[in-house]
Amino acid sequence: MLLREVEYARPSSVAEAVELLADNPNARPLAGGQTLINVMKARVASPEVLVDLNGLEELKGIELGGEGTLELGAMVTYSQAMSSAECRARPILGEVAAQIADVQVRNRGTIGGNICANDPTNHLPPLLVALGATMTIVGREGERTVPADDFFLGVYMTAAGPGELLTTVTVPPAKGAGDAFASVTIGRDGTGIVNVAASVNGDSRLVVGCVAAVPVLIRPGSTDEDAVREAVHRAGLDPPSDVHASADYRRHLAEVLAARAVEQAAGRRRS
């Protein structure tokens, strides 16, 4: 509770938002606020300016392209992703969104906020890496796209740097891929201890969350359980040890959950 002093602006366009962000290196975009406001309550971070994105309709779109490419505005909430007909093109999105926190958080929390916060236990960073999504980032200099693999830089840090704004998350067509998400959480649907996202289609993309500052992408050569476990083992994960889980336990869970996620994803694959 009880934030430090802060200034507030509610731009009416992305361009205006980018100007506000670029004007002050200590300005931060305010999306759903379900992470940022809490960090500010703890006074761990104290941005000087909050640029509220909630008025930007252009960031709230969900579009399904003819070929099955899904474009999600950064301000799409988890609840919207869960109920969106377009999102059913990639059902794993709604399935995972439904596991995030609780109803109230899902009503406010946004896809863009989830990945830009990149809390190591967040659900969407490993999922979007597994799906091979790309992120569109706008800055004063213009627009660029960054593959999910390169987007996550650290806890609370992504390729969308100061003065920039994530606008769109583009999820490629499923093309028959099977997707799955497996996790062990603190309590039912709680904070992740380890989570694993898998997308299987020819080559498998397996991504482990909660074990490092950024999601860890592993490409097991096959969907065979032993091969998957071996690939995770060889990845040499160095997860944190904390009150919820030892590093050993997290390493073990990464293998178990990877095997489960890949098995489920393979089962969901449409050949």
Partner 1 sequence: MKLEGTRSFEAPRQAVWEVLNDPARMAKTMPGVESFDVQDDRHWKANVKIPLGLGVLPLSIGFEKIEERPIEYARLHANGSGVGAIMSMATGFHLSEADGGGTDMRWEAEVKVAGPVGSMGQRVLQPIVNQQVQNVLAALDEQVQEAYSAG
Partner 2 sequence: MEAVSSKTVAVEVNGDLYEREVDARRLLVHFIRDDLELTGTHIGCDTGNCGACTVLYDGQAVKSCMLLAVQADGARIETVEGLAQDGELHPLQQAFSDHHALQCGYCTPGMLLSAKHLLDNNHEPTETEIRRAIQGNICRCTGYVNIVEAIAAVARGEA
Partner 3 sequence: MSETTVTPERPITVEEREVKPGFVGTNVPRKEDARLVQGQGVFADDMRRHGMGYVHFVRSPYAHAQITGIDVSKALELEGVYGTLTGDEVAIQTDPFFELSTPPGSEIKDYALAVGKVRWMGEPVAAVVAATRELARDAAELVEVEYEPLPVLVDAEKAQDVEAPILHDDAGSNVVWSGEFDWGDFDAALAEADRVVKIDRLHFHRFSSTPLECSGCIVEYERATGQWTLFGNHQMPGVGAIWMAPALRVGIDKLRFVSHDIGGAFGNKITLHPYFVACCLLARKLRRPVQWTEWRTDQHMANTHGNERTFLDIEVPVRSDGTMLGFKVRAIDDCGAFPRYEPLGCIIWAQVTPGCYRWRHVRVDFTQVCTNKSPVAPNRGYSRMQQLWFTERLVDIVAHELELDPVEVRKRNYIRSDEMPYETPNGCVYDSGDYALCLDKALELIDYGSIEQRREEAATRGKLLGLGIGSTLDSGTNNFGQSMILNPELQFSGNNEVATVKLDLFGEIVVTLGTVPQGQGHETTASQVVADILGCTPDDVHVRPGHDSYWNSHAGFSGTYASQFAVTGIGAVKGATERLATEMRQLAAAVLGCAPDDIELAEGQARMRENPEAALPFMALGAIINANNAGLPQDLDVTLNCRYVYRPPFEKPDVERKYGNLTLTYANQVHACVIEIDGETGVYEIVDYAAVDDCGHRIHPQIVEGQVHGAMAHGLGAATHEQFPYDEDGTLLTANFYDYHVPHALDMPPLKTDYVESPSPFTNYGAKGMGEGGGAGIHAVCAAIQDALRPLGGPIVTDSCNPPNRVWELIRDPEAARAGVAVESA
Residues that bind partner 3 (CB under 8 A): 1-5, 42-43, 102, 184, 186-191, 193, 242-246, 249, 252-253, 256-257
Q: What angle do CA 121, 123, 126 make, to 5 degrees?
A: 95
Beta-carbon contacts of residue 161 (< 8 Å; ≥ 6 apart) = none
Helix (H) or strand (E) holding 193: strand 192-201
Tell me whether residue 20 or residue 64 sits nearer to partner 2 (CB atom). Answer: 20
Binding partner 1 (rule: CB under 8 A), the pick from 75, 87, 180, 210 is 210
CB of 2 to partner 1, least distance (A): 12
Select the binding partner of residue 49 from partner 1, partner 2, partner 3, none (C-beta < 5 to 8 A, by kind): partner 2
Taking phi first (over 0 means left), then psi (-120 to 50 degrees means alpha), and beta for anything else, what does residue 175 get?
A: left
CB of 263 to partner 2, least distance (A): 25
Enumerate residues 135-154 that contact partner 1 by CB under 8 A. 154
243 binds partner 2 (CB under 8 A): no
Beta-carbon contacts of residue 180 (< 8 Å; ≥ 6 apart) = 92, 197, 198, 200, 260, 261, 262, 263, 264, 265, 268
Pairing of β 70-73 and β 62-64: antiparallel
Binding partner 1 (rule: CB under 8 A), the pick from 12, 13, 46, 145 is 46
Tell me how far apart the alpha carbons of residues 261 and 182 are, in angstroms, rounded to a whole number. Answer: 5
CB of 222 to partner 2, least distance (A): 36
Select the binding partner of residue 26 from partner 1, partner 3, partner 2, none (C-beta < 5 to 8 A, by kind): partner 1
Beta bridge partners of 70: 64, 171
Q: 178 is written with which tokens?
A: 């099977």
Select the binding partner of residue 154 from partner 1, partner 2, partner 3, none (C-beta < 5 to 8 A, by kind): partner 1
Tell me how far apart the alpha carbons of residues 73 and 112 are, in angstroms, rounded to a whole number. Answer: 8
Binding site for partner 2 (CB under 8 A): 1, 3-12, 16, 19-20, 24, 27, 30, 32-34, 37-38, 41-42, 49-52, 54, 79, 101-105, 107-108, 188-189
